[in-house]
Every structure is written in structure tokens, then in C-alpha cells.
Amino acid sequence: MLLRNVLLLFLCLAAAAPSRADDGYRLWLKYDRVANTAERQQVARAAQFVASPGSTPVLRAASAELQRGLSGLLGQAVPVVATAGSRTGGIVLRVDASASPALKAEGYRIFPEKNNLVITGRTDRAVLYGAFALLRQVQTGQPLAGLSLSSSPRINFRLLNHWDNPNGTVERGYAGSSIWKWYELPERLDPRYTDYARANASIGINGVVVNNVNASARYLSAEYIGKVAALAGVLRPYGQRVYLSVFWAAPKVLGGLATADPLDPAVKQWWAAKSDEIYKAIPDFGGFLVKANSEGEPGPQDYNRTHADGANMLAQALGHHDGVVMWRAFVYQAGSKDRFKQAYEEFQPLDGKFDPKVLVQVKNGPIDFMAREPFHPLFGAMPRTPLVLEVQLTQEYLGFATHLVYLGPLIKEVLEADTYAKGPGSTVARVVDGSVDNHALSAIAGVANIGSDRNWTGHPVGQANWYAFGRLAWDHELDPAAIAREWTRMTLTTEPAAVRTITDLLGQSRSIYVRYTMPLGLHHIMGESIHYGPQPWLAKSGRPDWTAVYYHKADSIGLGFDRTATGSNALALYKPEVQKEWGNAQTCPLNYLLWFHHVPWTQKLSTGRTLWNELATRYYTGADSVLWLQKQWLAARPALDPALYADVAARLQTQRKEALWWRDACVLYFQSIAKQPIPAPFAPPTRSLADIKQLVQLYQLK
């Protein structure tokens, strides 16, 4: 009797205890019970069961996800059956190889049939993506009655690039250590790998480069091939293939060869044998990602060979295997008068010389993931070569995991940029998806912001960048605001006013960050080495193009890098229509003004202010806009999980402090050169430039 009473008391206390705080682990796949009774009943009528043949691991994953998701959303069990038979009112999964030719291999269709909802496609992967699309409909409160959806990915290869190292660190990672526990693999598979795969599949990501582009040769050893094969086994049921970044000198380091010359027969043979070894362990291996002859990495130029020589050798080493080579165009050398031009100068002359299995991977802008960059001039300049768009989700230059910056607008901005390669409408998106030049291969890559932190991304709102990348990779015509709204409803709250408030906050966050850090086209003026905080006065470093003064060119006359014909002439790398838009300092969009022009401090801009006054105004209003972010977040507080609210609120406090740091550092430094007063109504900073420089020095201490 005593034991029974103790158990009853325990159960009562457990029932009365508050629910566990949201730690962010479930991402946008929370599947909490739908609060609205009418909505829940409507879903229950349409989802009484899931009928799936379960004939492949991918179909089993799809049916298990539907069961898991619908059971949670409805608060009641939803059974999985092998066939619907005469039953109605359920979800039917069906692979149909003869489905509409308009659907690509991964494209899905959802439609009503005999009081059931059918999810179909030409492959099991298509059905998997359709299952997640249906769950998204429910999570975002969309009706299921008469639902008819059809969607195909616009880009073939939609990849996350992990910059993870074998020792567990993550280069430019701000969310803890690597999620890959190499020392436990292959014997132990962390359950987190499966949840990672589920999250990727839910937004259409179908490939994962598991290691850093600054690669260790160790990943090509038999030991690590076995570890990667174990990861591939987890990702495969969720439609994802694994890829490896490779160290160019691996034939010397691992194979004991005297050279890594891509034209050397022994080197070719080594790579061919290594490819066979990998495919024997991982039959659906995706291929290689290569960083070569960049930032000190070895490459074919060490042997007076071209990037095409190196890439083509690897492509040929893949032989009959179904894989690709993605060769990064991020290259620059010391001594250049304008780093902006180097990738173009090395790669554009090689257009048409790459093997059909090679794609050239190009960063969104010509420098390095700045808060705002003009689109890279290689887009639209290599019509005979498929190009991969590479964007960065980890916030290397965007305040790490401290600042709230939603990257949907940044990614969309570059996708919508018109290259004019074949007339108006030749956008970067259409270059990348292959439609401008009729390429069969197409790819997009996001440098992952994922780590071992419980909430995956450090900053809880960083999850929105992972989510937005996947959604735009699947369909680049989606609206970033609509994506933000989806993510908010699935991740944070379904309360309508709070959803509107947070969606607005997300939409404005990137432009606010730009205003208080690098407005008007300023770039690369962040802290040395760790790339954190402001350091516009940096004039000495390991090489000139690692300094800030190399880029902003501030002097007594004005500010900005002249890239017109009177300067470096980098503007000439673009089509005439783009040159016309950006080539005149009087009409150049202000967001790109200092990217292309050295503008006098006293020149009046389209805003009616002088350059100096506009610069100061943007720094001051940008820093003050962080107060607006805080106000928006506070307004949504009643609808948010308390722990999650407090986490972001604390980070916003830090963001406000650091926005003032950026403002004071840049305004005071540029004022010391411009010799102009702080414009009304703004008050001069209360600390001196010397104070700010001392603060920055503390961040550089090791």
C-alpha cells in the first residue's frame, strides 16, 4: 500500500510539473499537438492511417516520419499499414515510375484519391520529400481537404559543406564541436546522425560533404573510409549521399609517391584505385570537393598544371562510378592589386576545358562571404561549365552565433542578380540551375552552421538559415519572408501576431547588420584572423589583402575601392548592362557604391546627404535598430518558450553592445581621416578611438 501511494504521489507530481523547456534540439520538426481543435479534427479525418509498401529503406523512413509527425500533431496514434485496401481517410505512399514527365526524379505530387491523400513520385526519394511537404502543410496550419501539390527541385545537387576536422574542431564553427564523432565511428552511430538526416531531408538537402575543404589526407585512408561508410549508411535512407573534401597531395602523403602531378601516370593510377576503394565501401558515394592552390593548400599549379588538369584527372579517376568533382574557384595569391579579379582570371579562360563530371564551385561574391557582396563575375562568364553556388550559413563575418542575422534575403539577393549572360533574365539562379546554358548538372552548396550544441546552431535563430538554404536550394523562386514565416510557425510559435512580428524581425535583421558594420559597400574591415568585430585601421598583416586598408582605401579625399577603368577595372569582368548599372558613382546603387568607387567625403548622394554624413547616419541608425530587434522579440515573448526567449534576448543584449562597438570604431576611425563633424542629431561617441583599439587588441590575444 505504501509503495502504491508513493507511486501515485510521484505520478501526480510529474503531471503537475511544468513541461520541459524547449532546448531547440527538435529544430522545425517539433510535431507538437495542434492546439486548434477544428484544425486537429480536420487533419485527423484525412490522416487516419499511413499506407506504405515499405519496400525500400527510404520508403520506410518516409512512413515512419509520417507516423511520428502525425501522431504528435494529432496527439493520438496513427498506424502504418502495408496497403490501404478498402480503407479511406488516410495517407497513401506510392512510387510510380510512369508519373508525370514534368516531375523530376525527386519531384513529388500530393493529390486526393477516393477520400485518401496520395503522395507519389517517380522514386522513393520523391515520396520521402512529399511526406515532409505534407507534414509542413499541417505544421503551418494549411488545409488538407482537396490538397493538390506538385513540386520538383530546380537544382540537382543540394549540399551542405561541413568544415569539420578529424580532431573534432570545426573551422569557422560557432556551435560547438563537430557532430561527427570520428573516434567512435564506425562501431557506434550517434542517434544525432539520424535526426540530422531527417532535418536535411525535410528541406530537400540530398548531399553532405562531411569534412573541411582544408582537408586532411587521413579521410582517404582505409580507416576513415570505413567511418564515412558508416555515416553514409545513416544518411542513405533519407536520400542523402556523402562526399569527401580531398587533400591534393594525398598520393604523396598516403601513397608514398614522389609527386602529386595530375599528369603523372602513377598519380592517375593512385586516384583511380582510391576511387574504386571508396565506391566498394560506399556504392552511392557522391564524389570529391577540392580546394587547391588557395590559401597555401597544394594543387596542380605546384606542377605548372591548370585547375582543369587537376579536376579532369579526378573526374577520370571516378571512371564509370556515378560521382562528380566540385572544384572550388576560391583562389587568391599575395601581391594582387585587386583580389576581386583573381578567381575570374584563373578560371574563365578554362571554360569548356573541364570534364563533363566537373562542376566549378563559386562563392556568392568575389571576396569572401561579406555581409553584402555583388554577385561573383564568374556567374554568366563560363557558359560551357556548370557552376555551383556556394553560400555561407555559418556566420564567419556576421557576428558568429551572437548576432541575429537571417540569411534568406542574402541568398535570395544573389540568386536574383541578373548576369545578362544571354540577355535580361539570365539570373544567377538560372545560371546555377543550368537553364541558361542547358547544363545537365547543377548544384548549390551551403557551408554548414551546425555543431554539437544541443540546439545545433549555437544561436537558436541560426536554425532559420539552415532551413532557408534548403528551401531555396529546392526552389529558388520561394520568398524569403514566406520561408521565415514557415520556420517561425514550425519552430517557435503559431500565435498569429507573434508570427508576424518575428517574420518582420527576421526580414530586417540582415540589412540592420549591414548598416552597423559595413554600409554603402564597405567590406573586409572586420577583426584580423578570427574575423570578429571591427578593425578598419588594420594596415599590416601577413599579406596586403588580409588588411582592411587594402579594401576601403580611405584617404583625405574620400573612401572606397575604385574598380572602374580608372582603378583596377574589375567592373569590366561583368556584362555591359551590369557595368552601366554600377559604373557611374552618381547612379550606382548605394549598397554597392564603395565596392566600385572611391567617393569624395563631401560628395552628395541620392539621399541628399554627403558621403560622410550618410556613412555616419547608417552606422548610428543601424546600431539603434538593434533596439528595434529587441523590442520585436519582447513583443513576441508571451507566445514563446521562456527558455528560448531568454536565450535570444540575452544574445540581443550582446548584439546591441557590439553594434555600438562597430559604430564607434568605424565612425571614429573614418572621422580621423575625413576630418568631418558627426552630423546632427547624433552625439559623438563617449569613448576614444584609442579606447576602441585597445578593446580590439584584447580579442586578438592568444
CA torsion angle for 341, 419, 287, 440 (degrees, to 10)? -150
Locate CATH 3.90.1330.10 in the chain: 514-561+598-700
CATH assignment, 157-491: 3.20.20.80
Backbone angles phi, psi at 53, to 5 degrees: -65, -25
pLDDT tens across 531-550, in order?
999 999 999 999 999 999 99
How would DSSP label each residue in 494-541?
A: --HHHHHHHHHHHHHHHHHHHHHHSGGG--S-B-TTT--SB-TT---S
CA–CA separation, 418 vs 415, rounded Å?
A: 8
Locate CATH 3.20.20.80 in the chain: 157-491
Across the range 426-452, mean pLDDT stands at: 98
In this prediction, what percent of the chain has a pLDDT beyond 90? 94
Q: Where are the alpha helices (DSSP H) in 553-641?
A: 576-582, 593-596, 611-635
> Per-residue confidence at 695, pLDDT binned at 50, 70, 90?
confident
Sign of the CA dihedral running 316, 318, 319, 324: negative
Active-site annotation holds for 581: no
User: Strand 149-151's sheet: what is its strand order?
Assistant: 80-81, 50-51, 91-95, 116-121, 108-113, 149-151
How would DSSP label each residue in 623-688?
A: HHHHHHHHHHHHHTGGGS-HHHHHHHHHHHHHHHHHHHHHHHHHHHHHHHHH--PPPTTPPPPSS-
3-state secondary structure of 119: strand
pLDDT reported for residue 450: 98
Catalytic residue among 113, 223, 295, 691: 295
**Residue 681: cis peptide before it, omega within 30 degrees of 0:** yes
> Per-residue confidence at 19, pLDDT binned at 50, 70, 90?
low
Catalytic residue among 309, 346, 396, 418: 396
541: left (phi over 0), alpha (psi -120 to 50) or beta: beta
Active-site annotation holds for 368: yes
Q: Where are the alpha helices (DSSP H) in 534-610?
A: 549-552, 576-582, 593-596
pLDDT tens across 134-155, in order?
999 999 999 998 899 999 999 9
Active-site annotation holds for 295: yes
CA–CA separation, 367 vs 352, rounded Å?
A: 24
Contact 552, 536 (CB under 8 A): yes
334 class by beta-carbon count within 10 Å (0-12 exposed, 13-18 middle, 19+ buried) = exposed
DSSP tag of 421: B
Contact 286, 243 (CB under 8 A): yes
> Per-residue confidence at 11, pLDDT binned at 50, 70, 90?
very low
CA angle 678, 680, 682 (to 5 degrees): 70
CA–CA separation, 455 vs 271, rounded Å?
A: 39
Contact 248, 310 (CB under 8 A): yes
438: left (phi over 0), alpha (psi -120 to 50) or beta: left
Residue 392: closest CA among 154, 205, 161, 207:
161
Report strand pairing: 358-363 vs 387-392: parallel
Cα–Cα distance list, 333 to 41, 293, 294, 310, 379 (Å): 63, 9, 7, 18, 21
Please say if the pLDDT value at position 519 is more than 50: yes
pLDDT reported for residue 20: 62
Contact 622, 514 (CB under 8 A): yes
> Per-residue confidence at 340, pLDDT binned at 50, 70, 90?
very high
CA–CA separation, 694 vs 671, rounded Å?
A: 18
Contact 259, 252 (CB under 8 A): yes
pTM of the model: 0.96
pLDDT reported for residue 602: 98
Reported as half-sphere exposure (CB side, CA atoms, 13 A), residue 118 has a value of 14
Query: What's the length of the chain?
Result: 702
Which has more confidence, 487 or 99?
A: 487
pLDDT tens across 287-323, in order?
999 999 999 999 999 999 999 999 999 999 999 999 9
To the nearest whole number, what is the mean pLDDT of the chain?
A: 95
> Per-residue confidence at 100, pLDDT binned at 50, 70, 90?
confident
Residue 514: closest CA among 502, 503, 526:
526
Domain 27-150, CATH class in plain words = alpha beta
Across the range 448-476, mean pLDDT stands at: 98
pLDDT reported for residue 17: 37
Catalytic residue among 164, 261, 309, 368: 368
Residue 169: closest CA among 187, 182, 160:
182
CA–CA separation, 472 vs 389, rounded Å?
A: 12
Cα–Cα distance list, 480 to 402, 416, 477, 605 (Å): 22, 12, 9, 30
pLDDT tens across 639-667, in order?
999 999 999 999 999 999 999 999 999 99
Which CATH superfamily, name and number, covers 514-561+598-700? Alpha-glucuronidase, C-terminal domain (3.90.1330.10)
Q: Where are the alpha helices (DSSP H) in 351-416?
A: 408-416
pLDDT tens across 28-65, in order?
999 999 999 999 999 999 999 999 999 999 999 999 99
Residue by residue, what is the 3-state secondary structure of 20-39? CCCCCCCCCCCCCCCCCHHH
pLDDT reported for residue 13: 34
CA torsion angle for 418, 419, 422, 425 (degrees, to 10)? -10
Please say if the pLDDT value at position 701 is more than 70: no
pLDDT reported for residue 702: 52
> Per-residue confidence at 230, pLDDT binned at 50, 70, 90?
very high
Q: Determine the residue type at 44.
A: A
Q: Determine the residue type at 505.
A: L
647 C-beta neighbours (distance < 10 Å), count = 19
pLDDT reported for residue 191: 98
pLDDT reported for residue 98: 87
pLDDT tens across 593-614, in order?
999 999 999 999 999 999 999 9
Q: Determine the residue type at 101.
A: P
